[in-house]
Structure 1
Amino acid sequence: MNFTLHQLQIFLKITQTKSITKAAEELFLTQPAVSIQLKNFQDQFEIPLTEVIGRQLYVTDFGSEIALAAQKIIDEVNAVNYKTLAYKGILSGKLKLAVVSTGKYVIPYFLAEFMNRNSGIELEMDVNNKTKVIKSIKNNEVDFALVSILPNDVALESEVLMENKLFLVGHKNAKSQASAVGTDFLSEFPLIFREDGSATKTSMEGYLKKYGVSPKMRLQLTSNEAVKQAVIAGLGYSVMPLIGLKNELEKEDVVILPAEGLPLTSNWRLVWLKGKAMSPVAVAYLQYIKDNKDKIKSESFSWIEGY
């Protein structure tokens, strides 16, 4: 056999995404290039690694075994690289984060300078809804998670980064409809929710339940961006995190409506398993956060204080 590390990396990504197109996108390669490398890799085995049924790619049992071996080889190569950098006095290794969907507006600012200072660190970040993020931290699959609501069923330690505020928002003409929104208003117009498992949806439903609001119509969308565009288009109203609305508020595409009991407030927190044995990279990142979070908040999020 004469396979290359590059082929192993491509095959592993294909097994993870179950798609040549998605693998190409995530590896920043063309689809034909990925297909050719998969074929060259497959040609070295008599047993199929993948199969296509309809238009869906499936990994065979044999392919799954090869993927496990590929992961071990890649991990060993990375370990060699990290040790080489460590002997040079360069902080190296992998930093693994799980971030709730709306946290994508927060976490890059708390990562950029740290990553720029430490070029030997590899970042692995999964952005998903709260349910999947909490599962990742429970299973000890990541070093840290970024959440705004702490789970009750797992022992965590945390570092508060900044405040999280949720407001009722509507399209640009909504302000003329209600200067002070009451429960009657909320019951008369469509309300737009995030998907199940979202912390934003949990907060919004809790608020409506507290004030006895039964929406005239419910729309459920799968991302903060989708909800935002629906609000801008005038499809309805939503309770949304302020952190993701900066540009839309500045352009007056959306407006904040004053409503009893709002804003809802919580905190963006970096969390990790209590008692977790941290890697040198994780220890360094946590110390960086403690030393620099106030500066980052002041430089990048001072606009929030105006709301």
Structure 2
Amino acid sequence: MRIAFMGTPDFAVPTLDALLAAGHEVAAVYTQPPRRAGRGKVLLPSPVQLRAEAAGLEVRTPVSLKGAEAQAAFAALDLEAAVVAAYGLILPQPILEAPEYGCLNVHASMLPRWRGAAPIQRAILAGDTRTGVTIMQMEQGLDTGPMLAIVPTEIGRKTAGELTAELAGMGATLMVHVLGLLPGEVGRMKQNEARATYAPKIEKQEARLDFTKRAVEAERQVRAFNPAPGAFFEYQGERIRVLAAEVGTLNGPPGTVLDHGLTIACAEGSLVPSLVQRAGRGAMTTAELLRGFVIPAGTVLA
């Protein structure tokens, strides 16, 4: 099948790989333009661009698809389908209608729950026990189109990073399966609007650990923001990231360090960090941190 692929982050790369492995003709790859990153603010191409160029594919990086020229260039590809995975640009109606079978999206949730930009983190933060991937037919609304296939998975104690990698692989497999059913009849299920929830973009300030909440909620913050932006607290003006933690049973005033092992009181229960990171340093166990960076019992953290 002649396809355009549209994606940007690491999450999208397995789907591109799966399309190539399945023998589909990828006429062009659309991805976000290179962004400046790091201390040197060097322009870095997206993970999808790097993978596409390594595979010898044509890469296009428009800043928008709203213009007539960009839409004409897309239509000229004469596509049977477009496959979209975390692309990051709005697709105008002419783009959605150009391929014979339209634009199919890999979304990292069980729609209609967690439509939007950060479905994996929001599912963890909410304490959901399950999430999944959905293949949907794209339309103008935000993740509102009919669903073609859906597969669940258990969240358990997975971090956002672990769950992202798992769902990326699941979505790639599911997309290839759905494309294999075309041009035959593919079941399309309308989303139940009454059950829709939204997953707005994660803001950096959300990663500050909130010890006025229950310990189970603070632990969800740790998993939801691993690897980025990283849940944290501050001590003596320094930001300490918490990469892994357990829920403890000790109680005390919220934010108070309760012992010499950095057990931190929450509104209910306590948070026991097990893997932490100081600014500019590598990850270390809490015991390693406390050998040279004492945080005494009785300290109140922010």
TM-score normalised to the size of structure 1? 0.27
Q: Which structure features the higher share of helix residues?
A: 1
Q: Which structure features the higher share of strand residues?
A: 2
Higher relative contact order (CA 8 A, sep 6+): 1
Q: Which structure has the greater CA radius of gyration?
A: 1
TM-score normalised to the size of structure 2? 0.27
